[in-house]
Amino acid sequence: MRTTVAIIGAGPAGLLLARLLDAAGIESVVLESHDRAYVERRQRAGILEHGTADALRAAGAGARMDREGLRHTGIELRFEGRRHRVDFPSLTGGRSVTVYAQTEVCKDLIALRFRGGGPLLFGAEALAVEDADTDAPRVRYRHEGRESVLHCAYVAGCDGYWGVSRAAVPAALSRTYERRYPYAWLGVLADAPPSHDELVYARHDRGFALLSMRSPTVSRLYLQVPESTRAADWSERAIWDELDLRLATDDGGRLARGPITATSVTPMRSHVHEPMRHGRLFLAGDAAHIVPPTGAKGLNLAVGDVVTLARALVAHHADGDPTGLDTYSATCLRRVWQAERFAYAMTAMLHRDPDATPFDDRLQLARLDRIATSRAAATDLAESYTGLPFDDEGARKGGTPEPR
């Protein structure tokens, strides 16, 4: 089989790239190792930056998001029993975020692909990316029990940290930067209405807690736990009691409780692979970078990568201009490192390190108090949370441009 762009991975990055290429008349084939049901139920991120929401609308994938997604104009920080709201529009010139689960983004993009796009093969396991540094790269894959080869002009590696794409970049040319954190997140989905209309980030002496949501009737909540924790270690009652304790404020109030329908434990780490391009192979999303979930950046970074890559491929396809492809890695990495900075800062400010000293505790509280009392500090948080520009063009103009 032949195509112009081989896309490995049908997460939001691969699916959005395919959609953008379809709109530009550029052929692509998407290979996904899992079945459709797995992709459409896999619980991941749920916060879309302002620019991510705009990118989905521009790609024709925003109708259901706009009907069912929840627009949020701020977050609440809780510490020492206090509440402080960070108002995004007043600090960013009107920007906001949207609560809309990654599973729903994938459903929307899959439906669009099957409605009029190129091939999307589920159960197609990519085995290797070969000859990425030539004009004729190819992807070996296994589908329906047979091994096949997908010949292409470009490969987009959207297959995550454990995929074959990252491994195709020679070790001698790769640089990796990583930080592991000595704690994890215990995450739960609960059939309970959210107890606050915006996300709540709580710093407590017992550890971090987050109140989030998936819909007006479904809550998504997290607790900081030791990195060795298993979900089975916690009972429903213990989870709710600990959430109540860590999210408590001096003005009272308790969480609305309900049946917990899913639990999981998420390890915390930061990872960046450089470069994000090798020959005609382009890495995107978790294949190139991982951020701790505190800053809600993972999905949004992936979208920024593929919007940048789609623009570059369209420019090269239309008039032979290779500039965007040549600068893809450097352009994306500038945004990646700013997101890494923000996610690290949020993580360090809100989580209690097992080896923390009283001095460390006071520094955390001082950082939170600075945000609560300084417009400049609050603006930095709001700008980073709602999303930095996808590329240099957006940076020059002071905003996030929509995909062409």
Catalytic residue positions? Answer: 72, 201, 293, 297, 385
Residue 177 in 3-state DSSP?
A: strand
State the SS3 of 343-380.
HHHHHHHHCCCCCCCHHHHHHHHHHHHHHHHCHHHHHH
What is the Cα–Cα distance from 380 to 401, expressed in whole angstroms? Answer: 20
Provide the residue type at 340 as one letter.
E
Exposed, middle or buried: residue 205 (CB in 10 Å: 0-12, 13-18, 19+)? exposed
Supply 43's token pair: 């619980």
DSSP bridge pairs for 210: 201, 222
Scored b (16 or more CB within 10 A) or e, 121-150 reads bbebbbeebeebeeeebbbebebeeeeeeb
What is the Cα–Cα distance from 263 to 244, expressed in whole angstroms? Answer: 17
For residue 189, the Cα-to-chain-centroid distance in whole angstroms is 18
What is the Cα–Cα distance from 258 to 219, expressed in whole angstroms? Answer: 9
Residue 389 in 3-state DSSP?
A: coil
DSSP bridge pairs for 146: 143
E runs forming strands in 47-145: 47-48, 70-72, 74-79, 82-87, 97-99, 120-122, 124-130, 138-143
